[in-house]
Amino acid sequence: MSGASAEGGTPDDGHRSHGIPWRRWSIVLHRDVGYLAVALTIAYAISGIAVNHIADWNPNYRVTKTFTTVEPIAAVAPNDLVPVAMQHLKLTEQPRSSFQPDSNTLQLFYKGTTYHVDLPTGKVMMEATRARPVLYEMNQLHLNHSKRAWTWIADVYALALLLLAITGLFVLKGKNGITQRGGWLTAAGFLPIVYWLVFLR
């Protein structure tokens, strides 16, 4: 995002062109749009790494499990299972919902916490879910869960990245520019796409 040319001077050192100063505008746009895109690029990059490994961890929530034992719940009418379980667990607030995946298990769902009760033994697993600070918000932005106006903001950001990519090709000239070393590096950047097309698609 430098505003200097490859030779260390200003874009129009030596002589001034009478046409449109494309290289100068490329440098200016690359610099200023780059500054504007820093915050979102950091957020999207961190979130992208986190979400990319969703098979290995939960990028949005930290899940903790604790265990305890209460009095077994047996010979209780189906309609009384939830009240009796709440009494044994010393819970006063009604659960958002409840579910029996099988005849021996009762699940009570509260905001942020789920109780898994093994009825014959009284063994209880409490599963608490808490949003990961900062990372949760980054993921919401990255995956556009809020929709509405953020869709347009994300579109503008995508266009900004496209502009950065295009203007970046013309910031430098000479041996490090797009016609020499820069061209080879640009071509190398397409190799991951080729690899995906050939081996992973």
Residue ranges of the domains in the chain? 22-56+134-170, 61-131
Q: What is the DSSP letter of 197?
A: I
Residue 109 β-bridge partners: 97, 114
Query: Three-state SS for 63?
Result: strand
Assess contact for 70 and 122: CB atoms under 8 A.
yes
The separation between CA 70 and the C-alpha centre of its own chain, rounded to angstroms, equals 40
Phi first, then psi: what are they for 191, rounded to 5°? -60, -45
Exposure on the CB side of residue 18, measured as CA atoms within 13 A: 0
Residue 129 β-bridge partners: 63
Contacts of 23 (CB under 8 A, 6+ apart): 5, 11, 170, 171, 173
Q: What is the DSSP letter of 117?
A: E
pLDDT for 23: 87
| Tens of pLDDT, residue by residue, the chain (201 residues) | 444 444 444 445 445 556 778 889 999 999 999 999 999 999 999 999 999 999 999 999 999 999 999 999 988 888 999 999 999 999 999 999 999 999 999 999 999 999 999 999 999 999 999 999 999 999 999 999 989 999 999 999 999 999 999 999 999 989 999 999 999 999 999 999 999 999 998
Nearest residue to 74 (alpha-carbon basis) of 64, 65, 84: 84
Sign of the Cα pseudo-torsion (131, 137, 141, 145, in order): positive
**Residue 82 is which amino acid?**
V
Ordered alpha helix ranges (H), the chain: 22-52, 81-89, 135-142, 149-168, 181-188, 191-195
